[in-house]
Amino acid sequence: MGMDLNQRIIKTLPRQAFAEVGEAVGIRHNDILEFDTEDMTSVLMDCCLYDWFENGKNVVQRYSEAHPAKPATDQGYLMQAYLQAKYRVLVMQSAVPGAGLHCRDVLNNEELFLMDLGLSQTAKDANAAFATRTIPLGEYWMTSGAGLPITSKKTLLHALSRIESEKSKSLEAPGSVALWVVRVCLSAGAAGHVTYASAAAKSPEPRRRTRWRWL
């Protein structure tokens, strides 16, 4: 249901959003969006949906107003959850195999349970950190499917210190904190550490850079 909703919202994205968000996260060069991996397109889409604002509202908020879901339906419940999405920098505290992770959000100073089967199996190291957007579902949260690992303590401290030092300046704009964290993670090579498991095993492919031109 979430994938279907994402696709419908993505269809409303203006081209301007791709260009401006790509510039903000550091992957747009000479009108070309450059991706270290094809999977990083999901990171760009996620930022476009939630962190690109026009007249004080992001794309998800405008879609919700233009296409109101019926109350007391699963679609309505999910849409309301999307409207409460929050970008986080999560540090793993413990894993529950087959379910998810107990985490601490150092960006918002909160603790939460992240329901995610894949992360419960792969995030083995205590204090492993990653940046992701979370969506509330009752007593737990799920990700928007576009997370980035924070590969070193130095990267994490740099992102947090820069956010703290610039809160009174450029990072006051809606969505800017998330865009800055994504930029720091990508510049530190986070894209090369993300893979998605599927039912059919894939043979390893050489790392390549996808280039999209936006005029």
Q: Is residue 186 in some structural domain?
A: yes
Q: Is residue 144 in some structural domain?
A: yes
Averaged pLDDT, 183-201: 60
Averaged pLDDT, 27-50: 85
Q: Is residue 209 in some structural domain?
A: no
Q: Is residue 67 in some structural domain?
A: yes
Number of domains in the chain: 1
Contacts of 130 (CB under 8 A, 6+ apart): 89, 90, 123, 147, 148, 149, 150
What token pair was written down for 29? 């060069």
87: containing domain: 2-191
Residue 17's pLDDT band, with cuts at 50, 70 and 90, is very high
Contact 159, 180 (CB under 8 A): yes
Measured CA to CA, the distance from residue 207 to residue 71 in angstroms comes to 45
Q: Is residue 28 in some structural domain?
A: yes
What token pair was written down for 47? 């930022």
Q: Is residue 207 in some structural domain?
A: no
What token pair was written down for 132? 């992701």
**Angle at CA 129, nearest 5°, toward 37 and 166?**
90
pLDDT at residue 154 greater than cutoff 50: yes
Q: Is residue 118 in some structural domain?
A: yes
pLDDT digits (tens, 9 = 90+) for 99-116: 999 999 988 899 999 999
For the chain, give the secondary structure using H, E and C.
Answer: CHHHHHHHHHCCCCHHHHHHHHHHCCCEECCEEEECCHHHHHHHHHHHHHHCEECCEEHHHHHHHHCCCCCCCHHHHHHHHHCCCEEEEEEEEEEECCCEEEEEECCCCEEEEEECHHHHHHCCCCCCEEEEEEEEECCEEEECCCCEEECCHHHHHHHHHHHHHHCCCHHHCCCHHHHHHHHHHHHCCHHHHCCCCCCCCCCCCCCCCEEEECC
Supply the mean pLDDT for the chain. Answer: 81
Give pLDDT, residue 198.
Answer: 45
Q: Is residue 214 in some structural domain?
A: no
| 0.85 surpassed by pTM | no
